[in-house]
Chain A
Amino acid sequence: MFTSIAEPEHRRQLRDSAADFLRRRCDAKAVRAAIETVDGFSRERWKAMADLGWTALLLPEKAGGLGLGFGDVAALHHEVGKAAAPEPLAVVSLLVAQAVARGCEGALREPVLNRLASGDVIATLAWQAAPGALGSDRVGPHAVRSGSSWRLAGRALFAPFAARADGLVVAARVASGVALFWLDGAPPVLEDRRLADGSTQASLSFDGVHLGTDALIAGPESGADILDGVLDTARLAASAELLGLAERAFAMTMEHLKTRRQFGAPIGSFQALQHRAVDHYIRIELARSALERAARVMDCGAAAAERGAEVSAAKARCGDTARDVARDCIQMHGAIGYTAECDLSLYVNRILVLSTWLGAARAHRDRWAALRLRSGEAA
């Protein structure tokens, strides 16, 4: 297809170097080893990714970042998806570092960004009030100012890697909006859960947590916008990973169809399987189009509503496509596709996690409809 040819040179280089690193450092065996650890990922590989600058793609160059755009983020995460790499790249570099970079102008900014970009700390974001919540209108924690400190309370759900993190950004409702705070050290985990792909996610309770005023990253004048912005950025990355995961799972399955023989013929010669395969090929190309469109709109600096609609369209398409591809890849592999031993399992499990993370397809279609249809405008 035409994608890679239309890409600017620097992006192709980014892709090539990412693919090369992942081929060397993150093959199926390495992924398996990582997801069976307590962390669910490899701290060593995480550090190596940070050394390559992957944690600082969007950070301005004067903050030690690469100053790249959203199309580049999508390209990198597309490659990460193809390798099923389990490291918390989108969480740390897009949710947390971007919240700090966009919100914080105080003394916290430089040291926190440096620690995040260097790969020395794992940090996460806590905000979500309820399943299916998509943005700043559904923030769980709340905070009140009392003298020289903030008193926090309430819960946040589904914070990735929270029980393995050394710090977090917490979004909290305050009197006139949403504020963002930096919380150093271990997050207040209520319940930690292991997900299908070996990663972890925790619900957090902020009851009794007190923070100094210097912990404030963004006040109510900008907190909600920043939160919605970083969520959409991470969704773009998740969509790109889903596309990469679906493509690789599909490619493995095409290989299987060509080599597996039954009834004296490769099973890929059977029309029922050929047509099924073509349907997934079509859906994968539609997902690529939706992803590229969303990245382009974000790189053009679109307003929040336009950005939200396109990101939701991409997340819905990539999520649905990846899950449908995963389902049929299991089927077309036959019994071996139902085993943990088959590398397909790494892809299927990761797809099952990322397709729900930051909103499943149905929720994103609802958001698209709310943004696009209420105003009387059609697609």
Chain B
Amino acid sequence: MNIDYNAMDERAFREMVRDFVWRECPPGMIHQARRMRWREAKDWCLKLAAKGWSAPAWPVEHGGMGLNIDKLIAFQDEFDRAGVARHPDIGLSMLGPLLIRFGSAQQKAHYLPRIAAFEDLWCQGYSEPGAGSDLAALRTSATSDGDHWVIDGQKIWTTLAQEATDIFILARTDPQARKQAGISFFLARMNTPGITVRPIRTLAGDEEFCEVFLDQVRIPKHNIVGAVNGGWTMAKALLGFERLLHGSPKLAQMVLLRLEAMARATGRFADPVFVEMFTRLSLDVADLAATYARFADGLKSGLSLGPEVSILKIWGAETAQRITEAMLDMAEEQGASRGAGDFGGAQVDPLGHYFLSRPGTIYGGSSEIQRNILAKAVLGLPSSSL
């Protein structure tokens, strides 16, 4: 079934998406204060795949919906409005676009359909114990041995590695080269001998991310993406829409709605001090959404995103944190409980939302790194001599 979604009227398109989401998305996927695990998201993922909707941003020839930016935003917006939680999407949102742009014909043909069908679940082997914000300091090595690469080292903060079938890995192929220059991009099956996964318990009590140990891991030569020593530019090249998605207002909007639900059910809107605070937070979110829309409009009119798009991530993540802190304040003693609690009839999980909002200022370039980048790349301030 081939539908040209881009030719559809936006309203009809939205109605179609909304109808599917409301009809098919399991209740357990709605308004969750954490990331979904595969066993929880599987039914929903397979429904999306069966419908051909698992990869909205990918071109049609690679099994995607081929949506243009308008429709992509509408599609995402309908999911957000329904409160659909994030499913395991690292292959879809990170590796897929990278393979489409830089992968070989064989790599595209082999991996993309499997990602779109959720046959393979990917995890991302980027950060290391000594290479977080300073990612280019990574030390995991890959050495050539006949028709194999042999990978040695350790990755950390690898989200959902314990349930992934595959991992993409940044490793150093030239130890002599300048930091960024000697890095390559590899693909490996998680069941390859030498890969050991150890889950890390988070503050929230979940095992959301892991350590991944790589001990003499032998992978076929053709499992490299792009050129040897060409991994860094690829790894850093997030495509336009993915960069915008990092700054999406949806988390901030979602936690604001939960704060509002708590406050209405407990009568807090009669308190002018609360109303003043809630109004500030609401305007912080509204102005974030308006700024996001400006960037989206720019993309629609064919402009590429510059480094200034970082302002969305900084403001969105920090605003979400201010909101969840307000939830904790309002929850009083109940703010210490794990799981949803009753607030005048509203079921809300303030502690879960507090935890959920923490990583946003750390992953994908911490807020401090983003500020460094903006200071230099946008404001043109001089580099420090440090």
Say if A and B assemble together: yes
Flag if B290 contacts A290 (CB, 8 Å).
yes
Contact of A373 among B279, B301, B371 (CB under 8 A): B279
Flag if A286 contacts B371 (CB, 8 Å).
no
Q: In residues 361-386 of chain B, which contact A (Cβ within 8 Å)?
A: 368, 371-372, 374-376, 378-385
Q: Given A286-B288, A289-B290, A373-B278, do A6 and B297 touch, yes or no (CB 8 Å)?
A: yes
Flag if B295 contacts A2 (CB, 8 Å).
yes
Chain A, interface SS category: helix
For B177, the chain A residues whose CB sits under 8 A away are none
B interface footprint on A43-65 (CB within 8 Å = 1, 0 otherwise): 00000000000000000000000
Closest chain A residue to B286, Cβ basis = A379
Contact of A379 among B256, B371, B374, B385 (CB under 8 A): B256
Flag if B290 contacts A254 (CB, 8 Å).
no
**Minimum CB–CB distance for A239 against chain B, Å:** 12
Segment of B139-147, B308-316, B331-339 in the binding face: B308-316
A281 to B377: give the CA distance in the assembly, Å. 13
Flag if A289 contacts B282 (CB, 8 Å).
no
Q: Judge whether A265 is part of the interface by a CB distance below 8 angstroms.
A: yes
For A2, the chain B residues whose CB sits under 8 A away are 294-295, 297-298, 301, 303
For A1, the chain B residues whose CB sits under 8 A away are 294, 298, 308
A6 to B269: give the CA distance in the assembly, Å. 39
Q: In residues 282-338 of chain B, which contact A (Cβ within 8 Å)?
A: 282-288, 290-291, 293-295, 297-298, 301, 303, 308, 311, 314-315
Closest chain A residue to B253, Cβ basis = A379
Segment of A94-102, A300-308, A364-372 in the binding face: A364-372
Q: Judge whether B257 is part of the interface by a CB distance below 8 angstroms.
A: yes
Q: Given A269-B385, A378-B260, do A282 and B378 touch, yes or no (CB 8 Å)?
A: no
A270 to B386: give the CA distance in the assembly, Å. 9
Flag if A379 contacts B282 (CB, 8 Å).
yes
**Minimum CB–CB distance for A359 against chain B, Å:** 14
Q: In residues 248-302 of chain A, which contact B (Cβ within 8 Å)?
A: 254, 257-258, 265-266, 268-271, 273-275, 277-279, 281-282, 285-290, 292-293
Closest chain B residue to A379, Cβ basis = B282
Flag if B382 contacts A269 (CB, 8 Å).
yes
Flag if A281 contacts B384 (CB, 8 Å).
no
Q: Judge whether A3 is part of the interface by a CB distance below 8 angstroms.
A: yes
Flag if B290 contacts A275 (CB, 8 Å).
no
Contact of A282 among B257, B315, B376 (CB under 8 A): B315
Contact of A368 among B279, B294, B384 (CB under 8 A): B279
Q: Judge whether A230 is part of the interface by a CB distance below 8 angstroms.
A: no
For B201, the chain A residues whose CB sits under 8 A away are none
Q: Given A275-B368, A289-B290, do A313 and B283 touch, yes or no (CB 8 Å)?
A: yes
Q: Given A317-B287, A369-B279, do A281 and B311 touch, yes or no (CB 8 Å)?
A: yes
Q: Judge whether A5 is part of the interface by a CB distance below 8 angstroms.
A: yes
Q: In residues 1-22 of chain A, which contact B (Cβ within 8 Å)?
A: 1-3, 5-6
Contact of A5 among B293, B298, B311 (CB under 8 A): B298
For B256, the chain A residues whose CB sits under 8 A away are 378-379
Flag if A274 contacts B375 (CB, 8 Å).
yes
A365 to B280: give the CA distance in the assembly, Å. 7
Q: Judge whether A354 is part of the interface by a CB distance below 8 angstroms.
A: no
Q: Judge whether B275 is part of the interface by a CB distance below 8 angstroms.
A: yes
Q: Judge whether B276 is part of the interface by a CB distance below 8 angstroms.
A: yes
Flag if A316 contacts B311 (CB, 8 Å).
no
Q: Given A278-B379, A285-B311, A289-B294, do A269 and B287 touch, yes or no (CB 8 Å)?
A: no
**Minimum CB–CB distance for B161 against chain A, Å:** 33
Contact of B275 among A281, A290, A373 (CB under 8 A): A373
Q: Given A271-B384, A373-B279, do A289 and B379 touch, yes or no (CB 8 Å)?
A: no
Q: List 6 A–B pairs whose Cβ atoms lie within 8 Å, in order of A's numbering.
A: A1-B294, A277-B379, A282-B315, A286-B287, A378-B260, A379-B283
Chain A residues near B (Cβ < 8 Å): 1-3, 5-6, 254, 257-258, 265-266, 268-271, 273-275, 277-279, 281-282, 285-290, 292-293, 313, 316-317, 362, 365-366, 368-369, 372-373, 376, 378-379
* Beyond known contacts A281-B378, A369-B276: 13 more, CB 8 A cutoff: A6-B298, A268-B382, A271-B384, A274-B372, A274-B379, A275-B371, A281-B311, A285-B291, A286-B287, A292-B294, A369-B278, A373-B269, A378-B260
- Please provide the 5 A-B residue pairs with the shortest distance between their CB atoms, ordered closest to farther: A2-B298, A274-B375, A289-B290, A379-B282, A268-B381
